[in-house]
Each structure stands twice: as C-alpha cells, then as structure tokens.
Structure 1
C-alpha cells in the first residue's frame, strides 16, 4: 500500500506562495517499474471560478519517483488575475534538493473549456520512443493543442510545443515509477468545474511487470471513475506499453 504524501500535491502551491493545501483528487497508475514514456489527453473542463488571490484550482498529469519526493508535470491552473481563464505550463520540483526544493517552470499557455490537450513525457534515454541524442537524465515534454468551439471563437488556433527538462542534478531521486492524474486545490478554492475526461492514457515501462495494466489496479484518492473504456497491453522489446482508451474522473469532494 502506498503512502499518499501531501508534499507531492503541493509543488505548484509552493511556487505560488500558497502553502495552505486543501485537497486533491488523484488517480495513481503504479507499474512499480521504470517509466520511459507517459502520455495523457485531457478535455479542458468548465472555466475556473476563482482567481489565484482566492486560491488555486488546478489539474495535471505527472510522473513521480517511488519516494514521491519529486514531480514532473504539466499543470493546468486558474490564471492569477483573469477570472475564468485556464493556462498550462511544464513544471518540475525536487522537494529534497540540497537547495531546498529546486524548480523548473515553463511559459503559461492559455486554453479554454472544450480544448483537447495531448500531454507527453518521453525519457531521452535508450528506449524505443526516443530517436534523438541520448541523455538518461533528460525528459522531452510536449503538448499538442486542438481547439474547441470556445477557443476558436476567441481567435485561437491549434498548435503545440515542447521543452527539454534536464534532471541531471537530481539523479539521486531515482527513476519515475508512478504516473498520476490529479486535481489540486488550495486556500478557499473548491472544485466546481465538474468531471474531467482523460483519453488515450499510455504508459510504457521497462521490465517484466504486467498485472498493473488494469482499471482494477488503479489507486484512487477522493475520486470515482466512470465511462471506462478498453484497456490494452502491448509488449515491447524491453518491457510493455499499457493503453487506457479513456475514463471520466469525478472528484468526490467537488461542489459543482
């Protein structure tokens, strides 16, 4: 049984000076093996209902090591000054770094309810998904944005981007062995944006572990699943790829 460390969910809050953690709703996917590729597509939910002066409303896909002391994520959060605006950015924090918690924070990109965002994390080591220069401590983080009706009406266009996150200074944290899909709140914020639809959730590991690739093996914290679609397990030359076609996550502590 895993221990649910609250520091895992407080990364973004610490960055924004909001350490009054309130709640998290989480789906943990735990293969207990080295993850080399994680991808998850999300449909952006209803607009956030507060600004950051009131509290943080956020949701994200992420990777963590077994210790849960570090996190690499793409964070979707309410804007600081614009009510009803979501934006996202890549983010890393090592909670036990010698400097007191080193962070990487990317540039905010605005998204709107109904936008479809594919989020990817690929290890730049010797694995089947990475074709470029090899560096075992670097991660290629990318995103593809397909605009919905609201985003198109605001003049936004489809697009994408990527960033390379160098974790060479954090080699002692170990491999990423957990994939996470979460909502996170702080201060007076509540989750009022309804369920979140996750699609095409894919985890590729190195190793022989297989029985984790099942909806029944997902670890749920303050959430329920519905609209659960097919799950497939595909062998690779060095491990396996687990593919969840999709599911809807409802935060059981939500108010809307």
Structure 2
C-alpha cells in the first residue's frame, strides 16, 4: 500500500515537472522572440536616422568665434597695390568656416568700380609662405566709410554646404582693384582677443615676403572668423548618440 502511494506521488511529481519544463520552454521562446523583434526595431530606427543624417547637406549648429581681432582699433590703415594679408592661428576646434568679417578704409566719394577680392591660403609655400588657395571671393564693391566714420565693415557668409574647411593656421589676403585716384587699405587692429597672429604680414610683390610697418605700429589687420565643426564630425557624433539611445532602449525592453 505504501509503495503504491509512493508510486502515484512520484508519477504526479514527474508530470508536474514536465509541465513546468514545457511552460518555461514556451516562456523562454516567447521572450526571445520579443527580444529579437525589439532589437530589429531599434536597429531599423538607427539605420533610417543615420541615412537621414548623412543625406542632409547642412546641419544647423551655432557657430563659434575662432578668431577675433575687432576691438583694438589703432586708427590706422595699410594701403598697397599688391595682394597682402595676415597669417592667423585659430582657437578651438571648429574649422568649417561660416563667416568672415574684415574692415577696410576707402576714400572714394561713392561706390563705383573699385573692388576687393578676399582669398584664404594654407601656408604650404616656401618658408611657410601662402601656398594653395582654398577660398576666393567674388569681387566685392567697395563702399565709402558711412557718415564720415573711419573704415567700412564687410561680412562674407558661407553656407556649411560650401565646405570651406580651414587649417589651424592660414593666411587671409585682400587684393584691391580699379581704385583710380582713390586709396584703400585694411584697418590695423591689435591685439587679437581670440586666436593669435604674428607681428608681421605677407605681401606678394611677385614673390611672397613678410613685412612690418615702420614706427612700431602693430601688424595685425581687423578680422573675425566664425566656424562650426566639420560636417562629418557632426554626423558621426549624432549617429553615436542615436546608437546609444537605441541600445539603451533595447536594454530596457530586454529587461521586461
């Protein structure tokens, strides 16, 4: 009698254990299916958003000032018929140029045919001279100083899609043209408050040479450069953020 009861108990226990195993097996399979589905959903979102990031030609980010020499007015200007300009070193890490401001003096009575052309050069020439130009502006019509003030402020705006990427240091120059009997020149400001500049400047009189103005006058020209990070850096940073968010979302669902 005792043995028979024991046998029934063992049989019931075995059946219960089999039911538990089957239940656990079904639960594990269902959970794995949901986890796989959630992971595919997260990866699909990341793929879609990353494709969108790399297909957008411009991303809107606040520009930072990487060079600024617009506060120390020396009440002087430098005039030359040659192309000349300042070698500057940028601050920070943003290098896609979005804006360039410069200041010049023009004694013409009215705007006419007189123009100025701005160029940016890397300093890969002999002895660190201006080498390859990576930006040349269209001719800019010169404007007389407004209201008798000393100097005219000009701004060049760059869309990010133009992809004007500056090295850490470069030379910007100006070339005046069609002045006639009039005179024009860059305003002298010093010292820079963001970034830096050597106390000399480059002038091309057939070959590039460094010059200094007599009388102990500083040799820096008024200018400001604004920039944003390079587009590839922006996109990769945003993609990394998306992957992080997707992974975090997957972890939350995985734990459910």
* Length-normalised TM-score, structure 1: 0.29
* Length-normalised TM-score, structure 2: 0.29
More strand by proportion, 1 or 2?
1
More helix by proportion, 1 or 2?
2
Q: Which has the higher contact order (CA 8 A, sep 6+)?
A: 2
